[in-house]
Structure 1
Amino acid sequence: MKRSTLIILAFLCSFPYFGFAQDSSPEVIKSKTYRFLGESWQYQKFSDRSKTFETEIESQNWNDTTIIRKSSKYDDNIVTDLGINLWNPSDQTPAVKPWGSWNVELKYLGQYKASKNFHLNTSIGVSWFNYKLEDRDLLAIRTPEGIAWEEFTDGIGTKSKISASYANLTFVPTLVSNNEKLSLGFGAYAGLRLGGRGKLVYDDADGKSFKEFEKVNMYAQNYRYGLRAEIGVGDVNLYVNYDLNNFFIEDKGPEVQAISFGISFR
C-alpha cells in the first residue's frame, strides 16, 4: 500500500514539470521577409540559435498554364550561291560565254534581327570563279610579262577557261517587310585568293579528248572587295556582286572588274 501511494505521489509531482516543458518554446529574436523567385520567404532566428525559412506557395492549375516563348534575335544557316560570272568592260578581254562561267559560293550565314524590319546578315565562305571563253580554241597562258591569249593549233578545242577561288567575308544590312516575304539588302564583301588555274579541253585528229592545265594562278588578284545587293521575294533570293578592284594584277592582265549574279539557296 505504501509503495503504491509513493508511485502516485511521484507521478502527480512530475505532471507540472511536463506542462511547463511543453510551453517553453524558444523565443523569436530576429525576423525578416525576402522576395525570391516570385515568392515571399520569411526568415526567423530563435533564442536557441535555430533558424527557419518559410514560404507559402499558392496552388496552381497546371492544366491552364500558358507557356510564352520569346523568339531568338539570332538565326544561322548554310547558304549556297549559284550564279554567272562576267567581266566589265567586256571589250578588254576575250568574249566570255555566260553559260558555263559559273560562280559558286558555299557559306555560313549568321542573321541578327535588330528589329522586325531590319536585319544584319554576315557570312563567311568560299567561292569559285570560272570564266569560260567563247572561243574554244583560245588558250590562256601565264608568261613572265602577264597573261597571254594564244590560238590552239594541236587539235580542236572543246572548252577553254580560267578560274580562281577566294575565301570571303560579307556584311549585308537588310530591310524586311512585316510578313517577311520581301527583303532588300545592300552591303559589301572582301576576299582572299586561295588558288587559280587555266584549263583547255580539246580533241585530237582521232577524236580522243585531252586536257591541258596551267596549274598556277592566272594573275588573278590576291584579294578582292566590292559591293553586294540582295532581293528576296518569298523563298527566292537573288544577288548581284560587283568587284571594285581589278580582277587581274596590275600590268599582268586586262583592267576589268568581275560581276556575278544569281540565286541563293537556303
Structure 2
Amino acid sequence: MKNVIFYVAALLCLFTSKIVAQETFEAKARIIADKIEQITKEEKDALKGEVDRVNENLEKGTISPEQADQQKIDFAQFRANNIERRTAAAQDELRKLVQEKVDGQVASEVVAEKGGFKISYNNNNKKKDTIPHSESRTTSQAVFAFGLNNLLTDGALAHSDYRIWGSHYYEYGFTLNTRLAKNHNLVHLTYGLSVQLNNLRSTNKRVFEVDGNQTNLVNPGIGMRDTRFKAINMVVPVHLEFDFTKPKMDGDKKIFKTHDSFRVGLGGYAGANLGNRQFTKYDNEAGNTVKSKEKGDFNVNDFVYGLSAYVGYGDVSLFAKYDLQPFFTDNAIDQNNISFGVRFDWN
C-alpha cells in the first residue's frame, strides 16, 4: 500500500509541472540528479558519523553538553557548505542541459509547457518559436533542510519525553516555483516532492513498546548507550511564496529572477508514512557493543499533513513545520510532530 502511495505521489508531482519531455533529455537529467543525490547521501552519512562521535564524547564526559551542541551545529554547517560546493558543478550541468533544450539542440518534436511557458522544436533541431530561459515563469530547486525535531504533548513542548538537542529533522526534496503574475515578481506558487526524516531521542534512553493500539515509552531493563526512533515520510509540499527580488532590466525588457532577496513562504504539506525504525545500542554481558534496528508500524499514522512556513534571504531560510495529525493513531494522549531549523533552496 505504501509503495503505491509513493508512486502515486511522485506521478502527481510530475503531472502538476505539466512537462512533456524528450526521452534523451530525461535520461541526461536523471544522470545529473543521481550525482546530486549521491553527493547529498555521502555528506549526510559523514554528518551522521560526526554527530555519533560527538555523542560518544558527551557520554564519556570529555566534552560538555554546550560544547556538544556547538560541535553539532558546526558539523552540520560544514556539511551543508560541502553539499552546496560539490553540487555546484552538477547544477551547472543541469542549467546547461536546460539551455540546450531551450536553444533547440534536442532532436525530435517536443513541446514543453510550464505555467504558460511554451517551446516547440522540429525534427531538424531548429527552433520554431522560443521565449528566453531567463523569462521562464517556472524554475526548479533542490531542497535540503535540517534542524530539531520533537513531539508536542497536548500542544505543549514543556516537560517533553524527548531530548531537545538530540532529536533531529532532515528533509530532501525537489520543488517547482511558478511566478503567478506575468509582469510582477512578488507572488509565487511552489510545489514538489520531499522526503522527511523525523528523528526522536527519548529522555533516559527509553524505547518504544507497542501494547495493542497503544505505543508507550518504557525502560528497556538494560543499560542503553543510545536509543533513537525515526519516522520516514513522503510528502507533497505546497507554499505561497512572496519573493521580494526586484526585476532587472535588459534594455526596455524586464527580466524576473528569484532567490536574490528576502523570501517568505506560507503553506502546508500532505503525504504518507513510508516506514519507521527504532535503533538501539548497548553493551552485552561480554562487554561487546550491540547495535540493533527494529522495523515496524509502531501505530504511527499512515497519513501525514500539516502546516509549514519559512523566511529567509537568497537560497537560505529558517523554517518551521507542524503536523496536524497525531503522531500515533490511538494513543490516550495526542502528540504532534514539530520541526524547525535551516532550509536551503538551490536553483
The interval holding the TM-score normalised by the smaller chain is 0.5 to 0.7
- What per-residue deviation string (whole Å, max 9, x for no partner) do you get for residues 80-113 of structure 1? 1212111112579862113332211111110001
Q: Structure 1: which amino acid aligns with 2:212? A: P
Q: Select the residue among 120, 143, 152 that pairs with 2:189.
A: 120
Give distance in 1, aligned partners of 2:213 and 2:141.
44
Query: Which residue of 2 is the match for residue 104 of structure 1?
Result: 170
Give distance in 2, aligned partners of 1:253 and 1:197.
22
Shift of 1:144: 2.0
Q: Select the residue among 241, 244, 249 that pairs with 1:174.
A: 241
Alignment of 1:186-201 (within 5 A): 186-201=266-281
Q: Is the 8 A contact 1:85 1:261 kept in 2?
A: yes
Partner of 1:166: helix, strand, or coil?
strand
More helix as a share of residues: 2
Give distance in 2, aligned partners of 1:195 and 1:93.
27
Q: Select the residue among 192, 195, 217 that pairs with 1:149.
A: 217
Which TM-score applies when normalising by structure 1? Answer: 0.67
- What per-residue deviation string (whole Å, max 9, x for no partner) do you get for residues 125-159 of structure 1? 211111011212x12112324213221223x2111
Query: Which residue of 2 is the match for residue 17 of structure 1?
Result: none
Q: Structure 2: which amino acid aligns with 1:187? A: G
Q: Is the 8 A contact 2:271 2:303 kept in 1?
A: yes
- Structure 2, unmatched stretches of 5+, are 1-131, 247-259
Q: Structure 1: which amino acid aligns with 2:152? A: N
Give distance in 2, aligned partners of 1:164 and 1:69.
39
In the alignment, is residue 260 of structure 1 matched against residue 332 of structure 2? no
Shift of 1:211: 2.2
Q: Is the 8 A contact 1:84 1:103 kept in 2?
A: yes
Partner of 2:165: helix, strand, or coil?
coil
Query: Which residue of 1 is the match for residue 144 of structure 2?
Result: 80
Query: Which residue of 2 is the match for residue 71 of structure 1?
Result: 135
- Structure 1, unmatched stretches of 5+, are 1-67
Q: Select the residue among 302, 306, 309 that pairs with 1:226.
A: 306
Single out whichever of 157-166 and 140-149 deviates more from structure 2: 140-149
Structure 1 pair 92/245, CA: closer, same or farther in 2 (3 Å)? farther
Q: How many residues of Structure 1 are paired with residues of Structure 2 in the alignment?
A: 197
Structure 1 pair 210/93, CA: closer, same or farther in 2 (3 Å)? farther
Q: Structure 2: which amino acid aligns with 1:255? A: D
Partner of 1:135: helix, strand, or coil?
helix
Shift of 1:253: 5.9
Q: Is the 8 A contact 2:213 2:299 kept in 1?
A: no
Structure 1 pair 184/200, CA: closer, same or farther in 2 (3 Å)? same
Q: CA RMSD in A?
A: 2.3
Which TM-score applies when normalising by structure 2? Answer: 0.52
Partner of 2:203: helix, strand, or coil?
coil
Structure 1 pair 242/69, CA: closer, same or farther in 2 (3 Å)? closer
Q: Structure 1: which amino acid aligns with 2:277? A: R
In the alignment, is residue 242 of structure 1 matched against residue 306 of structure 2? no
Give distance in 1, aligned partners of 2:175 and 2:133.
24
More strand as a share of residues: 1
Partner of 2:135: helix, strand, or coil?
coil
Structure 1 pair 70/102, CA: closer, same or farther in 2 (3 Å)? closer
Structure 1 pair 192/117, CA: closer, same or farther in 2 (3 Å)? same
Query: Which residue of 1 is the match for residue 204 of structure 2?
Result: 135
Q: Is the 8 A contact 1:110 1:123 kept in 2?
A: yes
Q: Structure 2: which amino acid aligns with 1:131? A: L
Q: Is the 8 A contact 1:147 1:253 kept in 2?
A: no
Structure 1 pair 98/92, CA: closer, same or farther in 2 (3 Å)? closer
Q: Structure 2: which amino acid aligns with 1:259? A: I
Structure 1 pair 205/253, CA: closer, same or farther in 2 (3 Å)? farther
- What per-residue deviation string (whole Å, max 9, x for no partner) do you get for residues 48-94 of structure 1? xxxxxxxxxxxxxxxxxxxx875211100211121211111257986
Percent sequence identity over matched residues?
23
Partner of 2:334: helix, strand, or coil?
coil
Give distance in 1, aligned partners of 2:287 and 2:261.
52
Q: Structure 2: which amino acid aligns with 1:79? A: V
- What per-residue deviation string (whole Å, max 9, x for no partner) do you get for residues 13-68 of structure 1? xxxxxxxxxxxxxxxxxxxxxxxxxxxxxxxxxxxxxxxxxxxxxxxxxxxxxxx8
Structure 1 pair 91/82, CA: closer, same or farther in 2 (3 Å)? closer
Alignment of 1:5-44 (within 5 A): none
